[in-house]
DNA sequence: TGTTGACTGACTGGATCCAATCCCGCTCGA
DNA sequence: TCGAGCGGGATTGGATCCAGTCAGTCAACA
């Protein structure tokens, strides 16, 4: 059957949520911008009701925030909040890695290596952002606790915009450091060494945080 | 105006969410139990639509989980998942405390002391559970990052049932250790000592986790 | 007697219509 | 000229009705 049909059989709210999620993560919908229910419904050919449900789902994923009688929009994070989100990641992601490591299959590890190879092949910015996200989240694929992984996903979602803005202005000349960190992390994963893995991972996140803090122009003005 | 009216002016979905939240946290709705939209709508005098929205809100808070075409229910956590949730708390709550400490007002600290005094006055189990929750979450009241506090709240929500079951069968004879830990934590808060605060707090959570692990009868059978 | 098939009942998912709320701009008055 | 009060338009929130889907049950057939 055609993929058009496959898309259609999925629940409408799921489909709308996927579409909005893509739009938000790609930056098409900017932080602070209101998301009009009717406009989305018309564009995706559905009623407003599944749009409302989709917005609730996205809110649960940390992608939007809702205000009564005013609507939903992508949250605008200030500098300090972004720093705290990164600190949360520094503390949670090593735990997820430790939980994941014993259950990662050789196939999953091989896939991780492929993803890292594609990252190093130096593609465009959107590809880098998607691959970097896939690399890290995939390394938690063995984690038996869904709640931990989804919590981490929320943190990634919340700062996606800042990652893109930061990579845009920092340029590709500093990607070698990401690659070095990823390689060390990947090696620890191959060896299933949780201690080394936690070390490299938290260092990777922490370095990103401190570097991000030196670029205040990435963040929204506190005018909100 | 009467509080009945005050309740009514709030959005219906908010009111329904608050009612369900109370029912779940109090144990009235047991884990694994399906929540029928129509039944809730009839009981609270509303249509099914705000009930659906309320269930989405609760899902965002980690109180329910949703399955397409089947409905919502309170998640049943296995032993390992509860342990991981506690480890997440061990890593996140010290961060929240450190973030909160500089901004806690003397009034808030005084309130914390009152809550601890009420905990030590040895009231019933429901009161203890509510006060213990209030004690910890209140200590994060100064945290300027809402996202961090709400993430922690989700973790508390997820394991509320197990806390109650554990306290029920362990009895009140071991509450002195909670009080000792709370007092040390409270003293660190009074001194605004983040290092000591993190130490006592993570130790408090960790001890609870290990003690909980010795009571497998608290957890749902893996029959789900 | 065991198994498979369709039927039925209940429940969730979605669409349309109506009510309540909020924001913005306008007007009137001091 | 500035501020308070007041509509009008737009947008969200809620109710009712209909369609789709799942599970459990009963009956018929091998």
CB pair distance less than 8 Å for A145 and B84: yes
Residue B63, C-beta contacts closer than 8 angstroms, at least 6 positions apart: B20, B21, B24, B25, B74, B157, B158
Cα-based angle B182, B187, B188 (whole degrees, multiple of 5): 100
Same domain, A19 and A90: no
Answer whether B72's CB lies under 8 Å from B66's CB. Answer: yes
Cβ neighbours of B88 in A, within 8 Å: 92, 95, 147-148, 151
Concatenating the DSSP letter of every residue in chain A gives --HHHHHHHS-HHHHHHHHHHHHHHTTSSPTT-EE-HHHHHHHHTS-HHHHHHHHHHHHHTTS-EEETTTEEE-----HHHHHHHHHHHHHHHHHHHHHHGGG--HHHHHHHHHHHHHHHT---HHHHHHHHHHHHHHHTTT-S-HHHHHHHHHHHHHHHHHHHHHHHHH-GGGHHHHHHHHHHHHHHHHTT-HHHHHHHHHHHHHHHHHHHHT-GGGSPPTT-
- The pLDDT tens digits of the residues spanning A132-152 come to 999 999 999 999 999 999 999
A223 within domain boundaries: no
CB pair distance less than 8 Å for B11 and A85: no
B167 within domain boundaries: yes
Same domain, A67 and A84: no
A152 within domain boundaries: yes
Domain boundary among A51, A73, A95: A73
B85 within domain boundaries: yes
Tallying the residues shown for chain B, one arrives at: 224
> Which range of residues forms the domain containing residue A49?
3-73
Residue A222 CA to C8 C1' — how many Å? 60
Residue A173 — very low, low, confident or very high, per pLDDT cuts 50/70/90?
A: confident
Please return the burial class of A93, using the count of CB atoms within 10 Å of its CB with bins 0-12, 13-18 and 19+: buried
CB pair distance less than 8 Å for A88 and B148: yes
B224 within domain boundaries: no
Looking at the complex, does the CB of residue A57 fall below 8 Å from at least one CB of chain B? yes
- The pLDDT tens digits of the residues spanning A95-135 come to 999 999 999 999 999 999 999 999 999 778 899 999 999 99
Give the closest-approach CA distance of B57 to chain A in angstroms. 7
Domain boundary among B73, B89, B119: B73
- CA distance linking residue B217 with residue B224, whole number of Å: 16
Same domain, A26 and A115: no
* Chain D bases closer than 7 angstroms to a protein Cβ: 11-17, 20-23
Residue B11 CA to C17 C1' — how many Å? 20
Across all strands, nucleotide nearest B69 (CA–C1'): C12
Residue in A with minimal Cα distance to B91: A91
Same domain, A191 and A99: yes
pLDDT at B3 over 90: no
CATH of the domain at A21: 1.10.10.10
Interface contacts (A, B; CB < 8 Å): 70
What does the block give as tokens for A130?
Answer: 């998607």
Concatenating the DSSP letter of every residue in B36-82 gives -HHHHHHHHTS-HHHHHHHHHHHHHTTS-EEETTTEEE-----HHHH
Same domain, B146 and B54: no
Between helices B79-100 and A146-170, what is the axis angle to 10°?
A: 50
Same domain, B7 and B61: yes
In the predicted model, what is the mean pLDDT of chain B?
90
Looking at the complex, does the CB of residue A154 fall below 8 Å from at least one CB of chain B? yes
CATH of the domain at A120: 1.20.120.530
Same domain, B23 and B104: no
Domain count, chain B: 2
- CA distance linking residue A148 with residue A92, whole number of Å: 8
* Overall average pLDDT of the A149-159 stretch: 96
Among candidates B62, B68, B92 on the partner chain, residue whose Cβ is nearest the Cβ of A11: B68
B88 within domain boundaries: yes
Same domain, A145 and A212: yes
Same domain, B97 and B39: no
A83 within domain boundaries: yes
Among candidates A60, A99, A158 on the partner chain, residue whose Cβ is nearest the Cβ of B84: A99
A224 within domain boundaries: no
Strand C within 7 A of A52 CB:
no
Share of chain A above pLDDT 70, in %: 93
- Secondary structure of residue B200 in the 3-state scheme: helix
- CA distance linking residue B79 with residue B217, whole number of Å: 10
- The pLDDT tens digits of the residues spanning B85-117 come to 999 999 999 999 999 999 999 999 999 999 999
DSSP 8-class letter at B8: H
Same domain, A144 and A212: yes
């Amino acid at each position: 059957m055609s993929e058009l049909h496959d898309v259609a059989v999925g629940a409408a709210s799921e489909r709308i949520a996927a579409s909005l999620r893509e739009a938000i993560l790609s930056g098409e919908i900017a932080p602070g911008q209101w998301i009009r229910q009717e406009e989305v419904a018309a564009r995706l050919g559905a009623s407003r009701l599944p749009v409302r449900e989709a917005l609730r789902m996205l809110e649960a994923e940390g992608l939007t925030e809702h205000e009564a009688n005013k609507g939903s929009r992508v949250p605008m994070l200030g500098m300090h909040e972004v720093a705290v989100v990164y600190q949360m990641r520094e503390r949670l992601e090593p735990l997820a890695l430790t939980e994941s490591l014993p259950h990662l299959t050789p196939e999953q590890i091989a896939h991780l290596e492929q993803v890292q190879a594609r990252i190093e092949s130096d593609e465009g910015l959107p590809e880098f952002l998607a691959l970097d996200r896939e690399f890290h989240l995939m390394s938690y694929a063995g984690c038996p606790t869904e709640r931990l992984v989804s919590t981490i996903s929320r943190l990634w979602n919340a700062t996606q915009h800042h990652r893109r803005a930061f990579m845009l202005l920092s340029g590709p000349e500093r990607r070698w450091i990401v690659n070095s960190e990823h390689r060390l992390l990947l090696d620890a994963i191959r060896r299933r060494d949780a201690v080394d893995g936690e070390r490299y991972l938290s260092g990777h996140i922490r370095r990103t945080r401190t570097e991000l803090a030196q670029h205040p122009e990435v963040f929204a003005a506190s005018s909100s």
